[in-house]
Amino acid sequence: MRPSVFADAWEGLRRNKSIAVSVILVTMISLYLLGVGLLAQRQVDQMKGYWYDRVQVSIYMCTATSSQPNCSGGAATQDQKDSVAAQLEEMEPLVEEVYYESEEEAFERFKQDYENSPLASNIRVGDIPPSYRVQLSDPEKFDTVASAFEGAPGVASVPNLREVFAPLFRAINIITAVMVGLAALTLVSAVLLMATTIRQAAFTRRREIAIMKLVGASNRTIRTPFIIETVASGLIGALMAIGLLWVSAWTLFDKYLLTQQGAGTAFISSADVWVIAPFLLVGVVLLAVGTSTVTLWRYLRV
């Protein structure tokens, strides 16, 4: 590519620097919002995989203070607990792994998970019932296991973990949709600004374009500087958006949530920004090239 093409592109950016800055800022905002939406969706997928792969069924046993109708006889006896354990063994290979958590273990886990919460001081041993944590080889067959223990002697409840987390995931999905919607609106603004920049630059150089057409210059030769201008503005905005996304993810996840909750929790990290970054960069290049090509069409007609 001829050096003069880049010189022409730089001259175009210099002449229309105020609009070019506007394109950069709007592109940055729109891609930042889109990136936040994509990261939120990755967080949902991460949490689903983390929780659903670990515990699909929790069988809570009765305690002396349980209020469920099935616990009117008081706390679950050892025979009732042994019966549940034996029945779970008989359900292999559907039941892949079983872990029994006593009242003391449940209390210690709660204190560890919520050590910075005022709730920790209000919980005592026995407030959280003992339970069997069951991992299934096929999570879709939750009902098969749950129905076998609902109402069984000594069993307080068999909550569906998917139903427990469904409201949280729905809320995050709604936030994701809102962010993507806002990103779409700002992307439209970015496209319009790109088109305005190109039209203004083409109008300013309309005589030059006409002369180039008369001497036989190809449409590609004429179009290239304008495309470079638009792609350059878009890429600068995209790089700024990616940098802002990384700082946001690093601050929220790496330096706060992952530090507070520990390394094994279901959170994404700033590294996920580099996963979506190529899509943002390729997307803005395609958007800029497409906008340039369509906008310049009328100026390149013979």
**Most confident of the following: 45-54, 58-67, 76-85, 172-181:** 76-85
Task: Tell which wins on pLDDT, 140 or 96.
Answer: 96
Q: What is the pLDDT of residue 4?
A: 59
CB 226 within 8 A of CB 292: yes
Q: Cβ of 160: how many Cβ atoms within 10 Å?
A: 14
Q: What is the pLDDT of residue 302?
A: 47
Q: Is the predicted pLDDT of residue 116 greater than 90, yes or no?
A: no
Range of weakest confidence among 61-75, 87-101, 102-116: 102-116
Question: What is the residue type of 199?
Answer: R
State the average pLDDT for the chain. 77
Residue 63, both tokens: 């305690």
For residues 173, 176, 177, 180, the Cα torsion angle rounded to the nearest 10 degrees is: -160
Q: Is the predicted pLDDT of residue 194 greater than 60, yes or no?
A: yes
Residue 28, both tokens: 């940055």
Please give the full DSSP string across 49-114, using - where no structure is assigned. HHHHHH-SEEEEEP-TT--SGGGTT-SPPHHHHHHHHHHHHHTTTTEEEEEEE-HHHHHHHHHHHT
Mean pLDDT of 222-233: 78
Q: What is the pLDDT of residue 259?
A: 64
Q: pLDDT tens-digit profile of 166-193?
A: 676 677 778 778 877 877 887 787 777 7
Residue 31, both tokens: 């891609």
Is residue 15 exposed (0-12), middle (13-18) or buried (19+ Cβ within 10 Å)? middle
Q: Is the predicted pLDDT of residue 143 greater than 70, yes or no?
A: yes
Q: What is the pLDDT of residue 11?
A: 62
In percent, the amount of the chain with pLDDT more than 90 equals 6
Distance CA 62, CA 80 (A): 10
Q: What is the pLDDT of residue 278?
A: 93
Beta bridge partners of 100: 132
Q: What is the DSSP letter of 129?
A: P
**Max alpha carbon distance in the chain (Å)?**
98
Return the closest-CA partner of residue 230 out of 203, 276, 191, 204: 191
Strands 57-61 and 131-136, sheet pairing: antiparallel
Q: What is the pLDDT of residue 262?
A: 46
Region of residue 68 (phi > 0: left; psi between -120 and 50: alpha; otherwise: beta): beta
Q: Is the predicted pLDDT of residue 5 greater than 80, yes or no?
A: no
pLDDT band at 229; cut points 50, 70, 90: confident
Is residue 248 exposed (0-12), middle (13-18) or buried (19+ Cβ within 10 Å)? middle
Q: pLDDT tens-digit profile of 13-26?
A: 566 677 677 778 88
Q: Is the predicted pLDDT of residue 131 greater than 80, yes or no?
A: yes
pLDDT band at 264; cut points 50, 70, 90: very low
Q: Is the predicted pLDDT of residue 141 greater than 80, yes or no?
A: no
Q: What is the pLDDT of residue 30?
A: 83
Q: What is the pLDDT of residue 9?
A: 55
CB 126 within 8 A of CB 104: no
In percent, the amount of the chain with pLDDT more than 70 equals 72
Buried b (16+ CB within 10 A) or exposed e, 273-293: beebbeebbeebbebbeebbb
Residue 82, both tokens: 């042994």
Task: Tell which wins on pLDDT, 68 or 256.
Answer: 68
